[in-house]
Structure 1
């Protein structure tokens, strides 16, 4: 069996498990959970990011060609797979890996805004995870803040001389954690505590998220390193074109 076929079968097997295994009643910020005002604010904020992301993807495809399309598809599938693994945490939300870090490392944050938004739409419609009214808030936390933080951490780690595997790990793990810090902020703004306001509410939300999200972030970092290592076996040429690894580079 060819390596490419075996790799594809593995991805389909994982997707099959996710679709046909029992789902917890958990999600991103749930449909209808945010007040109308806040749902609208987050929708407005993501629109310019989506426009720039679409433009960036077009430019990348024109410059890099067919191989990059395959990597973009893989990055989107990785987000879908990881962010479908959910654990209940706070009423109206959940903890889960995001998968955003891998794509942010490969392509930068802008394409991941678009891919993350597409994933969230499919999850809202097909899996009842998240929702369309809360799509703006979920996209902002996972696909915008998470992607930019992951990319920034990766670039900073490499600039400071960190090994490639460590830069990938830190980017994925910290991108995941900051996503949930952002979600906690979003929930705190929408539902400030009666006594103490936003800061008391934020402390409560962050405390509940931390119990599940810290181990999930560490796990996501490790999984991302493993997948990146696999990509060096099957897509080394594309990674070199994207300047992710050198001709001799390897985790």
Structure 2
């Protein structure tokens, strides 16, 4: 979810910016390291950033001062890990604030923390646990995208409740109200996002299998039959010339 420009009290806006900053700086360094170690992953890196931009730009009105939407962070988190997604997510949110008036500059830190940090890390924890237990890549990717989306809305509800506690019942009353309203739209959105992310990963497993292997996302036994045949044929033709 994107909290609107100027909606958070200044002290809260500053605090969330400070909390998010170390993750974003480390993520930027990891992007540089990834590109240096895997130069061919550059287009894939741009693609997952674009995917998150498009998915999270599809917004549905929710509670006052916020909106519900897919996050699109599951794809980049699965392939490049959460630190890289923290930086990519920040770029996505910055461009949306400047170009689409979606979110805002004063609330950028809060939005980054919920969508680009908390969601991806929670989703990746589930993804990692499932993969370690032998679950296939596609079910694990679905779980990652689903959890990352839901945790984003939980953290946004926490942020709003912390800033605007209810006059009766305080923080917990407000938190429950925000969670209840968001759940109406966010739970089905999380399911749809998980399914879309799985479809995209299946396509990438066919057209970018070598990059996914190099990044450690796929095991060699999981590469689909015929994956990369078109690129290998092109490489052979270039070598023959």
Work out whether the TM-score is over 0.5.
yes
Determine which of 41, 65, 69 is the counterpart of 1:92: 65
Query: Contact 2:209 / 2:223 at 8 angstroms: preserved in 1?
Result: no
Alignment pair present for 1:248 and 2:221 = yes
Alignment pair present for 1:119 and 2:92 = yes
Determine which of 5, 9, 14 is the counterpart of 1:40: 14
RMSD (CA atoms): 1.0
Determine which of 227, 238, 245 is the counterpart of 2:211: 238
Distance 1:31 1:46 in 2: 17
Q: Which has the larger radius of gyration?
A: 2
Deviations 1:43-64 (A, max 9, x none): 1111111111111111111111
Determine which of 136, 144, 150 is the counterpart of 1:163: 136
The CA deviation at 1:247 is: 2.3
TM-score by length of 1: 0.87
Equivalent residue number for residue 211 of structure 1: 184
Equivalent residue number for residue 120 of structure 2: 147
Deviations 1:17-60 (A, max 9, x none): xxxxxxxxxx7100000001100100111111111111111111
Deviates more, 1:154-163 or 1:129-138: 154-163
The CA deviation at 1:248 is: 3.0
Alignment pair present for 1:62 and 2:36 = yes
Equivalent residue number for residue 80 of structure 2: 107
TM-score by length of 2: 0.91
Distance 2:107 2:53 in 1: 17
Alignment pair present for 1:199 and 2:160 = no
The runs of 5 or more residues in structure 2 that have no matched partner are: 225-241
Equivalent residue number for residue 21 of structure 1: none
Equivalent residue number for residue 156 of structure 2: 183
Distance 2:123 2:34 in 1: 19
TM-aligned CA distance change 1:109 to 1:152, over 3 Å: same
Distance 1:164 1:49 in 2: 26
Distance 2:91 2:198 in 1: 24
Distance 1:97 1:182 in 2: 15
The runs of 5 or more residues in structure 1 that have no matched partner are: 1-26
Query: Contact 1:229 / 1:250 at 8 angstroms: preserved in 2?
Result: no
Distance 2:109 2:209 in 1: 35
Query: Contact 1:101 / 1:147 at 8 angstroms: preserved in 2?
Result: yes
